[in-house]
Amino acid sequence: MKIAYLSPYFWPENIGSAPYCTDLADWLRGKGHELRVIAFRPHYPSAATFAAWQDGSRDREWHNGADIRRIRTRGRGSGGFRERLASDLAFLAGVLRHGAGRDLSQSDVIVAYVPSCLSLFGAAVLSWRSGAPVVGVVHDIESGLAAALGIARHGLLLRLMRRVERAAFNRATRIVVLTDGMAAELRDIGYRNPVTVLPIWSAALSPAKSDSDTAPVVGYSGNFGKKQNLDQLLPLIQKLNERRRDVRVVLRGDGSERRRIEAAIAAMGVSNTEFLPLVPPEQICASLQSIDLHLVPQAMNVARYALPSKLFTIMAAGRPFVCVAEADSPLDHLARKSGAGLCIQPGDEERLFAEVSRLLADRDLLREMGGRGRTFVAANMDRARILEAYEEIIAGVAAARPAPAPRRRRQERPVT
């Protein structure tokens, strides 16, 4: 197949959705399909990490056989509605510009990732030019996130967002989502075509080593953004500093909220917390395994619209987690089903401290929970099986494409 692959977040970004978008692209290339990728210049969670791309000199490049065309990004700044919209419109404009080329008009199928839902409008224009059907892969539902995070507070604006999403989603012949909750939300918005639930995949990493003689470490790794609401960890850090002086706290990553969180922790006057940068992909396993217990906070009401993919890599690395999310949310269900973690209700600061302290005091229990996570990943998130399912969906949609109507030959006028 010739696949037009619209992926705002892509290699070399190594957190969020980018590693999964890249992994599927590599899989499809390995199966012999041609990929033409349209992606932003890498910038998540910080453009400074990818300085070599920002001057445009790498706006056309190849990665593992995929032909990549880059779009300049304005970034999302503090993550406000206007900044996000400007970024999404920039991606749509870039898709339309690159889509004017002849090679993309010969695509057999178009794969478009959400966010942003505007990428589906770009896919629709490519579909009109090429006749290729569209497969949407939804990692976030933006109207739900905007409501949960207070990014779009006005009811009229949220209704407008949902109307735009309804129009965008229905441009796709088929959509893939990560959870049953996201599938239900798509139906509530008004998506009418087939939807498939496929979880994030992972692979069990090298077994974790545990040293009971070292000081216990609790930590967070990933994006510092509104969706994570790292403010929920500040009371825990304060209590650990006061009551568990033996515990180290490591916060690793970057993003729009990092400077504010750093300032807040500095103002608390604690001495137990260290901020570290993200590590390259080949060091992710060692980085995750250097933490005994991972913290996975989520802002209120976010869990139905997005799922933190880092959680599955944590489990694959053999480390347990404590998430902050509502009861009966997908995170809560995952923690109970896997036995690899606990879910604490937002705002229950004393229980969060008590559970973290209890787990850190029992290294055997931490190892047992980490082992359960590895077992769960191996049984339910097999990389090859899930990527094969994606390929089957994409190939099935491409195969069902109607044959182009034959061109009418001009009738010659009879010679008189």
- CATH code of the domain covering residue 335: 3.40.50.2000
23 pLDDT more than 60: yes
* Peptide bond just before 116 cis, omega within 30 deg: yes
My answer on whether 55 and 180 are in the same domain is yes
Whether 405 is covered by a domain: the verdict is: no
Q: Parallel, antiparallel, or unpaired: how do β-strands 2-6 and 34-40 relate?
A: parallel
Identify whether 412 is part of a domain.
no
Q: Report the number of distinct structural domains present in the chain.
A: 2
285 and 360 co-located in one domain: yes
User: Residue 410 pLDDT more than 60?
Assistant: no
Judgement on whether residues 86 and 177 belong to the same structural domain of the protein? yes
* 104 is a domain residue: yes
Task: Check whether residue 118 and residue 191 sit in a common domain.
Answer: yes
Q: What is the pLDDT of residue 77?
A: 55
Could you list the residue range(s) of the whole structural domain that residue 367 is in? Answer: 217-378
Q: Are 190 and 229 in a shared domain?
A: no
Q: Is residue 50 domain-shared with residue 138, that is, in the same domain?
A: yes
78, 169: one domain: yes
The 10s digit of each residue's pLDDT in 60-79 is 999 999 999 999 987 655 55
Which tokens go with 7?
């992926």
- How many whole angstroms separate alpha carbon 172 and alpha carbon 110? 9
Residues 222 and 299 in one domain: yes
Give percent of the chain above pLDDT 70.
90
Q: Is the pLDDT of residue 319 over 70?
A: yes
Give a yes or no: residue 210 inside a domain. Answer: no
Q: What is the pTM of this model?
A: 0.83
Q: Which pLDDT score is estimated for 290?
A: 93
* Cα R_g (the chain), whole angstroms: 23
Q: Which of 34, 24, 150, 17 is nearest to 398 (CA)?
A: 34
Token digits of residue 405 = 């109507």
Lowest pLDDT segment from 97-101, 191-195, 202-206: 202-206
pLDDT per position as a tens digit, 254-311: 988 999 999 999 999 999 999 999 888 888 889 999 999 999 998 777 766 667 888 8
